[in-house]
Structure 1
């Protein structure tokens, strides 16, 4: 087998000399060990083409990009041929698998416990599923459809447990990207946590990535939803009765048993979401993100472009892993200037590709949000407008929202 640098150099050189080979590129950027080669592959994949002029300009602008002298040297090398291009990609994949397997083995040696052993086995299984070849899509899809047609098992859908919503959308399906959009403080985080709790109780793998607020705050909101104890009273622990403390302790125990994963890393990126989506492949993953516009990217680009790229990456992750990703999104202030302040798809802040990428888009509206008058009961009516649904009905569903307990009812 050729050396790693030779393999990576040959693949990059082939792309430079034969730009049409980008369509035959099967390896992923993370498989490259050389950081500049990795960055080059990420760049051409994002661009969707290999354009020598644009690559040259990027090399001048970006000091961390592949050096122009290296580009020129690679371009002048002899083309290895189409057959060898495929073989070198397979070699790169095998090298990546061996390198990662050795790392996992080293980690296990440093801490040999049943937990680290199981972690190593799970990761090794994931490694065996990494491939540099694409299957015959039509054959695979046809086999899946025939299996569905003759199967007695119900369609694989994740119910929200809100009857009116499930009747309209049929539940969430694997590989969907669902957007829940609203103005700040309308109730989208509470709405998401209510759905998460309903879904988790059905045995699905659930995660909540909170970029806006702390994990502790998310847990407190979730506890209010479960127990019906007012959120402010949960925060002021000293005001709780012994019976309420017991309720909260039992609710925490339920959350832990269901394995709900709460993450409050403020630098969450699509790669973090991919890592979560690839865990426990035997279970349906439902991942909530609060919220889209706060997510980080690995590149320093214009914010609107960055949000569009994050949205596209999340859709790709959902497609490739089968995970259901529910991402919350802010609406821009334009809605405030209209007489009818009910949101529309175009109101999504820095919307760009979000509207196009989403399989389903839900827009939340609460009229008393603009009246600045709270009902003593804390009860509000929240309209959930399913404004986009690629695979089903659209329309408005009304919820009763009890802000003090973060609970939603239809």
Structure 2
């Protein structure tokens, strides 16, 4: 009776790959998806050299005793137990086995330390595993159809305006999948500007969320009420002296906020995973998520290097926006380097602890007020300041400086 040459799925994939080097272009697996450590090293070497021909592998095997043996290479190369027609199916079978294996492994780790936080991390990892695929179709036709549909449609493009004509004329509004940044020195006006934008978007029916890491939720609501009702913030803090007319305005503003469906969360330990949870909620329109502010966030995987950690957070937030189709508006502090210059207008290099945000962000707005540095320029009567918004980065539109009037007493912004 003739012995039948039998190969495992992993062996079959390797055998096909080294017997038919042209199949490398269709190889979709990663080294860590192989259970056999020798095969992992083999695939790593193939990726490193960019070729899977037997001669290259044979010489590597002779030189490196930790590499797959020449005997094993010969066995796989001479095997007749597989053929190129099985290559893709074997890869899909391997991927399915890997996903099941990793799912069991992650579940076992979770069971050792079950908690709400670890459950969120588990669900995130399981979602990533579930998205793994071998047969990736070319999406170009779908992208072409989408652009063609947008071009020929009589409907206006789905852009989410900020409420400021001067700003929207340059950035054309926000779009889903964007990470946008508002950066300034402390107490210059970035939170107030973000709340003004958010209120405009909420009144247009967009699901909006505000994560506050520094200010309590009730104070965030107070600032919104001050702007909506046009009642000075200091008067709200002394509510016993408001009077009937202003009290009525405040109550109407509170009612509007309640009906808008705004989500306001005061969370001092905010992580990207928590943002992902919110962004993944099913809504008819793109979700808009404001975060105040980046440098107070924590990474899901903390490190000893805060700069690296902040850059990781920035990259995670960009990925969340892309994957969920949400819009994230991230507030950021500027470093003290601004203070050491004669011209204190901020530059991109002033972004505190994060060079990576320059690459991740679609739009970077940098704020400046003359009266922030020059007390003699402060208008104590009206409380009005001129705010410069430097659109330092704008991937899909114009850069440049626009000016807004900032009425600090009522936390309200208006076009100049």
Fold shared per TM-score above 0.5: yes
Question: What is the CA-CA distance between 1:136 and the residue it aligns to?
Answer: 3.0
User: In structure 1, how many angstroms separate the alpha carbons of the residues matched to 2:257 and 2:101?
Assistant: 40
Residue 398 of structure 1 is matched in structure 2 by 403
Contact 2:273–2:300 at 8 Å: present in 1 too?
no
Q: Which deviations, in whole Å up to 9, do the C-alpha atoms of 1:199-226 show, x marking residues without a partner?
A: 1111111111111111111111111111
Residue 305 of structure 1 is matched in structure 2 by 308
| 1:124-203 aligned within 5 A | 131-133=131-133, 134-203=136-205
Matched, 1:354 2:357: yes
Residue 86 of structure 1 is matched in structure 2 by 92
SS of 1:246's partner is helix
Q: How many residues align?
A: 326
Question: What is the CA-CA distance between 1:14 and the residue it aligns to?
Answer: 6.3
Residue 28 of structure 1 is matched in structure 2 by none
Q: Which deviations, in whole Å up to 9, do the C-alpha atoms of 1:109-134 show, x marking residues without a partner?
A: xxxxxxxxxxxxxx9xxx8x963335
Contact 1:270–1:314 at 8 Å: present in 2 too?
yes
TM value normalised by structure 1: 0.72
SS of 1:13's partner is coil
User: In structure 1, how many angstroms separate the alpha carbons of the residues matched to 2:221 and 2:173?
Assistant: 25
Question: What is the CA-CA distance between 1:235 and the residue it aligns to?
Answer: 2.0
Residue 330 of structure 1 is matched in structure 2 by 333
| 1:172-251 aligned within 5 A | 172-251=174-253
Residue 57 of structure 2 is matched in structure 1 by none
Residue 13 of structure 1 is matched in structure 2 by 35
Q: Which deviations, in whole Å up to 9, do the C-alpha atoms of 1:353-391 show, x marking residues without a partner?
A: 011111111010011001135322211111001011010
If you compute each CA radius of gyration, which structure gives the higher value, 1 or 2? 2
Residue 273 of structure 2 is matched in structure 1 by 271
Question: What is the CA-CA distance between 1:152 and the residue it aligns to?
Answer: 2.0
CA RMSD across the alignment: 3.4
Residue 45 of structure 1 is matched in structure 2 by none
User: In structure 1, how many angstroms separate the alpha carbons of the residues matched to 2:143 and 2:406?
Assistant: 41
Question: What is the CA-CA distance between 1:139 and the residue it aligns to?
Answer: 3.0
User: In structure 2, how many angstroms separate the alpha carbons of the residues matched to 1:288 and 1:308?
Assistant: 18
Question: What is the CA-CA distance between 1:244 and the residue it aligns to?
Answer: 2.0
User: In structure 1, how many angstroms separate the alpha carbons of the residues matched to 2:141 and 2:307?
Assistant: 38
Contact 2:311–2:354 at 8 Å: present in 1 too?
yes
| 1:89-108 aligned within 5 A | 89-90=95-96
User: In structure 2, how many angstroms separate the alpha carbons of the residues matched to 1:316 and 1:368?
Assistant: 37
Question: What is the CA-CA distance between 1:241 and the residue it aligns to?
Answer: 1.6
User: In structure 2, how many angstroms separate the alpha carbons of the residues matched to 1:321 and 1:21?
Assistant: 34
Contact 1:14–1:85 at 8 Å: present in 2 too?
no
Question: What is the CA-CA distance between 1:140 and the residue it aligns to?
Answer: 2.8
Matched, 1:315 2:321: no
Contact 1:287–1:323 at 8 Å: present in 2 too?
yes
Contact 2:179–2:362 at 8 Å: present in 1 too?
yes
Q: Which deviations, in whole Å up to 9, do the C-alpha atoms of 1:264-295 show, x marking residues without a partner?
A: 11111111111111213421111111001111
Contact 1:90–1:132 at 8 Å: present in 2 too?
no
Q: Which runs of 5+ in 2 are unaligned?
A: 1-31, 48-75, 77-86, 105-122
Question: What is the CA-CA distance between 1:83 and the residue it aligns to?
Answer: 4.6
User: In structure 2, how many angstroms separate the alpha carbons of the residues matched to 1:255 and 1:91?
Assistant: 50
Pick closer, same or farther for the CA change 1:237–1:96 going to 2, 3 Å. Answer: farther
Question: What is the CA-CA distance between 1:344 and the residue it aligns to?
Answer: 0.6
SS of 1:140's partner is helix
Residue 375 of structure 1 is matched in structure 2 by 379
Q: Which runs of 5+ in 1 are unaligned?
A: 1-9, 23-78, 99-122
Which region of structure 1 is more displaced relative to structure 2, 84-93 or 142-151?
84-93
Question: What is the CA-CA distance between 1:20 and the residue it aligns to?
Answer: 8.2
Q: Which deviations, in whole Å up to 9, do the C-alpha atoms of 1:98-119 show, x marking residues without a partner?
A: 9xxxxxxxxxxxxxxxxxxxxx
SS of 1:279's partner is coil
Pick closer, same or farther for the CA change 1:207–1:94 going to 2, 3 Å. Answer: farther
Matched, 1:385 2:390: yes
